[in-house]
Amino acid sequence: MRKLAVALSFLLLSLPAFALEVAGVNVSPTAVVRQKTLTLNGAGIRKKFFFKVYVGSLYTERKATTPAQLLADTGEKLIRMNFVYKKVGKEKIVEAFAEGLANNSPGVARSAEAKAFLSWFTSDFVAGDTVDISLSPDGTVAAAQNGKALGSVRSPSLARGVLLIWFGDEPADAGLKEGMLGKG
């Protein structure tokens, strides 16, 4: 019986990772950023009132289950937003990012780098859109919408501030924070 259990566990470990479905969005188990394959750390739903706005996914080189672990990790990170709400106006997105920075990183929120980051978001987001925000070990923050680059800036303090939008003491959505930390 023990040999059967060991054989089954090896079989389960050798199965390919399958996409996770969250709110009708297939969340990939991996993502590639700057020639590095990152693993899905966790995913959840960003809600505003009773509406599902987007599925947020966090990809990392190493598993992080707490904000402290995530902030201390020196590897590549990717936050992916798969929009499910019919339309989110660009001004609402900019307002939400600015509020997240102000609530969790007030010094960064007033910086030139934060203003540059916010200026990248010039289009509305509609259901089906994907927005990627990547954070590199050197502090480079880059964003893309549906695969099209929006902008890039090297600022370790902005990179930390962007992470804190979702993982700070006053996150955009506490349930999403837990989900992206793999606890949802």
pLDDT at residue 89 is higher than 60: yes
Domain span including residue 125: 32-180
Q: Is residue 41 part of a domain?
A: yes
* Overall number of domains in the chain: 1
Residue type, 153: V
pTM of the complete model beyond 0.85: yes
Q: Is residue 15 part of a domain?
A: no
The pLDDT value recorded for residue 24 is 78
pLDDT at residue 131 is higher than 70: yes
The pLDDT value recorded for residue 23 is 73
C-alpha to C-alpha distances, 111 to 58, 73, 157, nearest whole angstrom:
25, 24, 10
What is the mean pLDDT of the segment spanning 155-181? 96
Residue type, 143: A
98 sits in the region (left: phi over 0; alpha: psi -120 to 50; else beta) called alpha
- Give the CATH number for residue 46: 3.50.70.10
The pLDDT value recorded for residue 48 is 87
